[in-house]
Structure 1
Amino acid sequence: MNGRRLALALTMGDPAGIGPDLALAIWQNRAVLGVPPFLMIADPEMLAERADLLGLKVALIESSPEQAAAHFATALPVMPVALAKTAIPGTPDEANAEAIIESIRLGVELTTASRTRALVTNPIAKSVLYASGFGFPGHTEYLAHLAAETAGHPLTPVMLLAGPHLRVAPVTIHIPLNQVPRALTTSAIIETGRIMARDLASRFGLTAPRIAVSGLNPHAGEDGALGTEDAAVITPAITELQTLGINAFGPLPADTMFHAEARETYDAAICMYHDQALIPAKTLGFHDSVNVTLGLPFIRTSPDHGTAFSLSGKSEARADSLIAALKLAAKMANTEVEISTLQALRGA
């Protein structure tokens, strides 16, 4: 089947959170919003109950991935994953952890097999999954694990926050701040830059992306007066990336690289740790930034917010970020197809 005619795979997320609410509301307003077709991997009974609670008129239909796009105009296509217990909005239940994880696993399986165009994941509560024995720091690491099982070798995921005003990726992610200097290595920065440059070209259509690299310390170390990592760890990585033909530059002081004029000089930025990247990303695009996982053999996006249990079942949550995640996933899939076609025509 033509990849452009396939639906996106949308996971359930935590059923006690806002993921199902947003998916249902988006489908009801699909024509106005112009969202691409998606297949919801979730419990149909939970979706029906939530739609009733929210006063939404959503027709549901169990569907294969291949038929989901055709069904989307008249009904929300669903691949069933049964919950162990009834989902109560705002009250997460560890009993449903297995179904939450299975929804993610199926989404990866379908997308890897090219039965869906790309994977979009709804928010999960990691603490709920940890209680069930989930052994990964978060979504990103679990997706990389599943992808590595299929690929047969380890993969390095890179978390990119993509918004209307900024694309930025941290080198280190879900670790305590006091562990960052030990975890930060020249090779990790090089790998992040290499993956970013490759995927910006193949999935965003930026053939020669400009990549700004932040320092770790205030003022990028100020020539060693405020720390040695910038010169000893980060600068050699930038030099190697340049040797590889990647237009990377820095290290730049993180406090001056995110204002409007500075952002005009690069297409994406690399930061050294989680908050250094996510604070500017969420400040500049809190409602419409998208979490994109680079470095995987499939496209994955996610809304840049959590489960928001306190808003679940109340029609109060904003759908902007999930809408953006769906649209960006489809756009990246289209770009990848166009580049692949162009390469084939050139004999690449």
Structure 2
Amino acid sequence: MSAPTRAPIAITMGDPAGIGPEIIVRLACTPRPGETPLLVVGDTQRLRDMADHLGLALTLFPIEHPNELEGHDVTPGRLAVLPAGEPLPTDLPYGQVDARAGAAAYAYVSRAIDFALDGAISAIVTAPLNKAAMAAAGIQYPGHTEILADRAGTDDFGMMLANDELRVMLVSIHLSLRQAIDAVTPERELRAIRLAARACHAYGIEHPRIAVAGLNPHAGEGGLFGGEDEAIIAPAIARAREEGIDASGPWPGDTVFMNARRGHFDAVVAQYHDQGLIPVKYLGVENGVNITVGLPFVRTSVDHGTAFDIAGTGHADPSSLFYALKQAEAMVRSGAGT
């Protein structure tokens, strides 16, 4: 079939030493219900070698701009590749931190961002990168979220992890636990609440119920276990309610996610990385998606890392990539963005 007129979704290949090439090849060879055409920003030879290794029939064709997809056959088994950065060496090993792979992963996402800002693509779906490999290449970003926000020129952004049972927005992302406690400020709390509501609107939830998790055990127990919940978090919730957001809390972190799964809340604001990600990932990374909220374009990502322990072995599960693509398509169709 010919590619429809809707701008394509770009999948970035991620760290080429990880499982990104494999899960992309597997997705490209599998029928899917979505109608939005796809392209990959990555390395053609790396993908071709992976398809051969897996014994999959995949036709790869190079393009230089997303608009070149118009009129192309985009049925399963055919995939457009848009290059970025230097071609990868053919002997680049799988499963190892390599500065060349880190530089390539950064080049892939950077070029995809440029096309998204120009409106040439409708969304970005990212395969995982490796922070140590990027650091080895001299790229000092802690993760995708910070790269996206910096290049998009926004300070008003956040990370949401979502699956069929939970939506979790983080107050702080890639910080040490000590730094994350210091990051609990009225301004950051209010921003996270607003972004959680915004993300729910993108999912088509007209009046989202936002639960805010406490920082301390039992949400501070009236100040007995710490004063941040009463002094910082509760006033931010009150301000959000004054703005018309149905926010509540702070709720004890050991029960708020359970209550959200039971349908009492539409999203949870978690105070730091592990508080929010552990309950989401416990439910299974195969149906999880990472969403950057606050960008001028849709971005979703797999809910797992580069999995160096199985990279290149043919045992990677593409389920999370399928789910990330499905969520990106749903948000593009809604027109709400993030």
Bucket of the pairwise TM-score, normalised by the shorter protein: over 0.9
CA shift for structure 1 position 4: 6.3
State how far apart, in whole Å, the 2-side matches of 1:65 and 1:222 are.
54
C-alpha offsets along residues 46-67 of structure 1, whole Å, 9 cap, x if unaligned? 1111111122111101133124
Tell me, yes or no, if the aligned pair for 1:4 and 1:334 is still in contact at 8 Å.
no
Q: How does 1:45-64 map to 2 (within 5 A)?
A: 45-63=45-63, 64=65
Q: In the alignment, what sits opposite 1:27?
A: 28
State how far apart, in whole Å, the 2-side matches of 1:230 and 1:28 are.
49
2:89 corresponds, among 67, 80, 85, to 85
C-alpha offsets along residues 118-171 of structure 1, whole Å, 9 cap, x if unaligned? 0011100010111121122211011100000xxxxx422210001010000110
Q: In the alignment, what sits opposite 2:116?
A: 111
Q: Secondary structure at the match of 2:286?
A: coil
Range moving further from structure 2, 33-42 or 180-189: 33-42
1:97 corresponds, among 92, 102, 121, to 102
The alignment status of 1:127 with 2:123, answered yes or no, reads no
State how far apart, in whole Å, the 2-side matches of 1:35 and 1:177 are.
42
Tell me, yes or no, if the aligned pair for 2:6 and 2:36 is still in contact at 8 Å.
no
Change (3 A) 1:139 1:245: same
Range moving further from structure 2, 267-276 or 42-51: 42-51
Q: How does 1:198-347 map to 2 (within 5 A)?
A: 198-201=198-201, 203-259=202-258, 263-336=262-335
Change (3 A) 1:188 1:3: farther
CA shift for structure 1 position 317: 1.1
State how far apart, in whole Å, the 1-side matches of 2:96 and 2:328 are.
30
Q: How many aligned positions are there? A: 330
Change (3 A) 1:117 1:157: same
State how far apart, in whole Å, the 2-side matches of 1:240 and 1:278 are.
26
Change (3 A) 1:332 1:3: farther
Deviation >4 Å, runs of 4+: 33-36
Structure 2 unmatched runs, 5+: none
State how far apart, in whole Å, the 1-side matches of 2:330 and 2:4 are.
12
Tell me, yes or no, if the aligned pair for 1:303 and 1:321 is still in contact at 8 Å.
yes
Letter of the aligned partner of 1:162 in structure 2?
Answer: A
Structure 1 unmatched runs, 5+: 149-153, 340-348
Q: In the alignment, what sits opposite 2:10?
A: 9
**TM-score normalised by length of structure 2:** 0.92
Identity %, equivalent residues: 40
CA RMSD of aligned residues (A): 1.9
Q: Secondary structure at the match of 1:311?
A: coil
Q: In the alignment, what sits opposite 2:187?
A: 187
State how far apart, in whole Å, the 2-side matches of 1:290 and 1:43 are.
24
State how far apart, in whole Å, the 2-side matches of 1:145 and 1:108 are.
10
Letter of the aligned partner of 1:329 in structure 2?
Answer: A
State how far apart, in whole Å, the 2-side matches of 1:308 and 1:36 are.
28
